[in-house]
Amino acid sequence: MLLYRDGRCLVCGRLLTLRAMHAHHIQSVGSGGEDCLENLIALCAPHHDAAHRGSVILDGKRYLLTPGVLRALIGGEADEEEREIARELRRRYAPDE
Ligand SMILES: [Zn+2]
Ligand SMILES: [Zn+2]
């Protein structure tokens, strides 16, 4: 399901096979997040690690990967700053968007 929806790492755009895909809970289940598609994001292994660290560095620039930014990456609710970070990340792998 998640692979069908996303198909790529939502941070770097790398195409993912089912085996390479990490499903990350945007809000951890331990802190009240639900185990549902709206709370899951597909990531490659390095960016799954990055999501748990809270940020990622791409071409020398640090991008925060807060739950809000991750939600913005899958088109969910986020504030303006988080949406802007998500747009920047997206621009990196979808320049025609
Ligand atoms: Zn990635
Ligand atoms: Zn995770």
pLDDT 10s digits, 32-87: 999 999 999 999 999 999 999 999 998 899 999 999 999 999 999 999 999 999 99
What is the Å distance from ligand 1's center to 52 Cα? Answer: 13
Domains and CATH numbers, the chain: 2-93 (1.10.30)
What is the Å distance from ligand 1's center to 48 Cα? Answer: 7
What is the Å distance from ligand 2's center to 81 Cα? Answer: 22
Is the pLDDT at 15 greater than 50? The verdict is: yes
pLDDT 10s digits, 21-42: 999 999 999 999 999 999 999 9
What value, to the nearest 5°, has the Cα angle with vertex 69 and ends 76 and 50? 130
Contacts of 3 (CB under 8 A, 6+ apart): 16, 18, 21, 42
Q: How far apart are CA 97 and CA 95, in angstroms?
A: 6
